[in-house]
Chain A
Amino acid sequence: MKAKISLILPIISVLVLLLLMPLVLKNYHLNILTEIIIFALYAVSYNLLLGYAGLLSFGHAMFFGLAAFVTGIAIIHLKGIGMITAIFLGVFSAFLAGVVIGSLLLRHKGSYFALLTLAFNALFYAVATKWHSVTGGDDGLNVPRPELNVIFAKIPVETVPQFYYFTLIVLGIVILFVWFFTRTAMGKTVLLMRENEERMKFIGYSTNLSRLILFIFTGTLAGLAGAFYTLHFRFVSISAISVEMTTVVLLMTFVGGTRTFWGPILGVFVYIILQNYLSDITDRWPLFMGLIFVFMVLFIPGGLSGFIMDMKERVAKKREVALEGNQL
């Protein structure tokens, strides 16, 4: 019971805090927070691969970018399309890409796997660049935000706070589900993949099927983040599907730390805030971001969450020692 309260209390406090944010924050900051929530889902899905399954992928942006484009293109070309249909089409395309690419990558491990994901991402990027008439190429696409109709009610999502709430509620629920997922049978199976892919076969698990399911699931989640990305910025360009978009999520996840569920979310928060702050004060912000990451990788390899967990453990140990001292 105690453990449950200590888990649920922080989650509820964060949720309440996020729900109150539009009362305190100006639109500029609320926009940043919306972006943080979108990237939080993207990073959480990436960490299921990196932290939970131990699979280093350089191709996560293909799912994110594909859904971002499909959502945008659907809105532009299908007259009168609703928000839910547009999101669904984007997510569904990422799902299909997960099925196809997942099937092709089943048997590959380690650096081979990483290189193949990179190659696929490059392929997607090349197609998006060449297919200028549909994707807009370098210029990108301006994407109006369609109407959100739930059953018979029209829910307004035009203003910044409105879209913030929409994002928070939908993606918040999905992120909570992913957290729940990590404790379900399949979530635990993902850990077996990281710990010992050989051994799990001999207790009845198909590693191919496990890998495929995980790939489809994480791809679909990244797709949902991608669909919201287009809706949020009302714009999508080839940068959404570029390899940089994968390295960004890799960095965010790494900065936050891969060993906890919330680490990547913290990573996204720090990354985006830092990026906004630095880009306000200097044009050379990428240089400073780079330096900060080099420092982090060298000195805090467990990421921010790893660092926090270490500190917590140390404090707990000290307290124990102090208690024992008192008893003696």
Chain B
Amino acid sequence: MTAYLEIRDVHKDFSGLQVLTGINLAIREGERHALIGPNGAGKTTLFNIISGKYRPSSGSIIFRGQEIAGKPPHVINRIGMARSFQITNVFHELTVFENVMAGVRSRAGLRYNFFRRPEANSYLVQKVEDILKNVGLLDVKDIPASALSYGQQRALELGIALSTEPEIILLDEPTAGMTREETEQAIKLIDRVTKGRTLIIIEHDMDVVFSLADIISVLHYGTIIASDVPEKIRTDQRVKDAYLGEG
């Protein structure tokens, strides 16, 4: 398999603060890729650049043969990429159903239409319900997102990311703030619903990372210090020094 998402020499600085100092990463189609590294290493910043929230200071990102660096998020999403957020980022006053419908209808091209009601389209409604069932929120589909429990909001965050049927999905600490048990449940769920897609996940729980990922990349002070299969990462001296040793 050839590289599907390729990040070439991406730099990012925020008014002088160098956060990313030359990221190189090649991700193959269907890969489950974990991104680890201590707090403040620049993981979220890298996601923000790949997904179009920020422009890189320099460097290039090729996704499905297209240069996407600096493109706006909605364009990148339509090429087939979706992401979740570390801090829950949903449509609070809208129902769970409407939250997921927003993405489902967007994918179907029903974004700015003045005449068609998405809710009248049984095909779209079915799709929304399938996703809600998948992430375990079908029972609460009619309540506002703000009334969900924390765990349910994390599930909705995942549901929204899935709603545009992305080929590649970026999950930023989907299990943040969860107990051990909840984390295990959540990871099982993530593993199931992202089958057949390329996945990049930022995750802190090392057991989870080592069991889920095909490839693990370690980000440390703005560069990738290692990127390899889990067995190799476990024994990598630089990684041990930089990161694993701490915990």
Specify which of A189, A202, A207 lies most central, judged by the most chain B CB atoms within 10 Å of its CB. A202
- Interchain pairs with CB closer than 8 A, number: 91
Q: Complex: how many Å from CA A189 to CA B109?
A: 12
Which residues between 69 and 107 of chain B lie within 8 Å of chain A, taking CB atoms? 72-74, 77-78, 82-83, 85, 89-94, 98, 101-103, 105-107
B112 touches A199 (CB 8 A): no
Secondary structure type dominating chain A contacts:
helix
Confirm or deny: B123 has a beta carbon within 8 angstroms of a beta carbon on chain A.
no
Which residues of A from 180 to 225 have beta carbons under 8 Å from B? 181, 183-186, 188-189, 191-192, 194-196, 198-207, 209-210, 213
B92:A210 contact, CB within 8 angstroms: no
Chain A residues with CB under 8 A of B101: 188
Q: Of the candidates A181, A184, A191, A201, which one forms a contact with B94 in the assembled complex, judged by CB atoms under 8 Å apart?
A: A191
Chain B binding surface SS class = loop
CB distance from A141 to the nearest CB of B (A): 34
Q: Mark B143-184, 1 if CB is under 8 A from A, else 0.
A: 000000000000000001001100000000000000000000
Q: A201-B73, A204-B74 are in contact. Are A189 and B93 (CB under 8 A)?
A: no
Give chain B nearest CB distance to A84 CB in angstroms.
22
A186 to B114, CA, bound (A): 5
On chain B, the residues within 8 Å of A210 by CB distance are 111-112
B118 interface contact, C-beta 8 A: yes
Q: Is the CB of A206 within 8 A of B118?
A: no
Cβ-defined contact, B114 with A181, below 8 A: yes
Taking residues whose C-beta sits less than 8 angstroms from the other chain, chain A's interface range is 20 to 34
Question: Which A residue sits closest to B73, measured CB to CB?
Answer: A201
Chain B contributes a number of interface residues (CB within 8 A of A) equal to 37
Cα–Cα, bound, A314→B72 (Å): 46
Interface centre among A183, A185, A195, A196 (most CB of B within 10 A): A185
Q: Point out the residue from B77, B102, B113, B164 that lies within 8 Å of A186, measured CB to CB.
A: B113
Question: Which residues of the other chain, B, contact A181 by a CB distance below 8 angstroms?
Answer: 114
A199 to B114, CA, bound (A): 22
With beta carbons under 8 angstroms apart, the residue of B78, B89, B111 that contacts A189 is B111
B195 at the interface (CB under 8 A from A): no
Interface pair B73/A202, CB less than 8 Å apart: yes
In the bound complex, CA of A203 to CA of B72 (Å): 11
Q: Is the CB of A196 within 8 A of B92?
A: yes
Residues from chain B with a CB closer than 8 A to the CB of A194 are 93
For B74, what are the chain A residues with a Cβ–Cβ distance below 8 Å? Answer: 201-207
Which B-chain residue is minimally distant from A207 (CB atoms)? Answer: B74
Q: Which of A183, A201, A209 contacts B112 (CB 8 A)?
A: A209
- Please state if B119 and A199 are interface contacts (CB–CB under 8 Å): no
- Complex-state Cα separation, A189 to B113, whole angstroms: 9
In the complex, A204→B73 CA distance in Å?
A: 7
Closest to A188 in B: B118
On whether the beta carbons of A199 and B82 are closer than 8 Å, the reply is no
A191 to B52: give the CA distance in the assembly, Å. 23
Mark out the residues of chain B between 46 and 61 whose CB falls within 8 Å of any chain A CB in the assembled complex: 51-53
Top-6 shortest CB links A-B: A195-B91, A204-B106, A201-B73, A185-B113, A203-B103, A185-B110
